Amino acid sequence: MNRFAGSKGPAGGSLSKILSASRSIAAAELSHEADRTALQAGEALQRVPLALIDPSPYQARRSFDSAALQDLARSLRADGQQVPVKARPVSGRFELVYGERRWRAAQLAQLDDLLVIVADVPDDEARLIGLLENLMREGLNPLDEVDAKLAIAAEVLGIPAVDGAAGWTQVQARLRSLRKHPEQDHAAVAALTEAFAQLGAESWESFAAGKMNLVNLAEPMRTHVREGNLEYTKALLIARAPAEHHEALCLAALGGLTVQALRTQIAQLRPEQPAATLGERVSKLRPFLSGRKLTALDAPTRTRVETLITEIEALVAGDTGGRARRGRQGK
């Protein structure tokens, strides 16, 4: 039994929904026209005319690779539909819960109908299933992937999901806080860990430290990443550089500049830190001049340090005495 299934609060209930949605997708992978045993209660497998199927309003994938769709269309024409899509009845029609790529490819292949798992699915569950199904597929655009994972995290944490960079601010802040201080909410950390385990290899901690920041990219980098022209790792590197250099670095990256070469260029662009003042340098030395630290030094090093301290004391005392004499002479 899932240890969060009966827990109170956003993490427990939302995680149960996510795990249920994941099981629903896994069951669908086993369902085909000749085997209806994998269907869950309340589901029916049937042929539905393409003209009666509408896309999901909760679709996480905003861009579809046209070449990949053409390949899928050719596969559908040659081998038929191997895996059904899922849809729910809405006002005499059928709204996709997942499977929009197959639906689009079926249109390109000029098929008359699709094999559909039909079930009454509530809005919140339809949204979760759509998010999970897309994240389990290959070829999802990095920006769409990040939006989907932030939506999953928002569900687990009980934060209202509002799409777009501004809407994700609260979710990002919470993930960063939990990554830095997991002791704040052990239940939320455990729920995030289990939810992200359904999505693949990336942990929520790794996501929060890196790829999550893609939602904060400015144009035109967002467009370049979305269109597949710019690797997301390079985009994240460029975003750390001073803003006035983003355009030039982006052009260099599009021209083939490697990640390591980008790192080198960006390091050179960062303004040099001003030299520390004498007072700051003395403050940094104080912890190393304690009795315990000095005692731990080997004999030659300790003797050298003691000699230097004596010289410094003499210099400071001499300068102080000189200022005092000059002061008396001026009276």
- The domain ranges of the chain are 31-132, 217-272, 278-316
Nearest to 211 by CA among 193, 224, 225: 225
CATH of 31-132, one of 3.30.70.2860, 3.90.1530.10, 3.40.1440.60, 3.20.20.140: 3.90.1530.10
Q: What pLDDT is recorded for position 96?
A: 94
Residue 328, token pair as written in the block: 């008396």
Q: Strands, DSSP E only, in the chain?
A: 44-49, 53-54, 85-90, 93-98, 113-118
Residue 293, token pair as written in the block: 């630290």
CA dihedral 222, 226, 231, 233 (to 10 degrees): 50
3-state secondary structure of 19: helix
Using an 8 Å Cβ cutoff, are 212 and 146 in contact? yes
* CA–CA gap between residue 249 and residue 166 (Å, rounded): 25
**H or E stretch at 308:** helix 299-329
* CA–CA gap between residue 269 and residue 158 (Å, rounded): 41
Q: What pLDDT is recorded for position 328?
A: 53
* CA–CA gap between residue 33 and residue 81 (Å, rounded): 10
Using an 8 Å Cβ cutoff, are 65 and 73 in contact? no
* CA–CA gap between residue 62 and residue 147 (Å, rounded): 10
Q: What pLDDT is recorded for position 26?
A: 54
Strand partners, 48: 114
* CA–CA gap between residue 155 and residue 166 (Å, rounded): 17
Q: What is the pLDDT of residues 293-331, one digit of tens each?
A: 778 888 888 888 889 888 888 888 775 555 555 555 555
Q: What pLDDT is recorded for position 51?
A: 95
Q: What is the pLDDT of residues 189-217, one digit of tens each?
A: 999 998 888 777 789 999 999 999 999 99
Listed as ranges, residues in the chain with pLDDT below 50 are 1-10, 12, 30-34, 36-37
b/e per residue, 281-295, with b = 16+ CB within 10 A?
eeeeeeeeeeeeeee
3-state secondary structure of 48: strand
Greatest alpha-carbon pair distance for the chain in Å reads 111
Q: What's phi and psi for 49, nearest 5 deg?
A: -60, 140
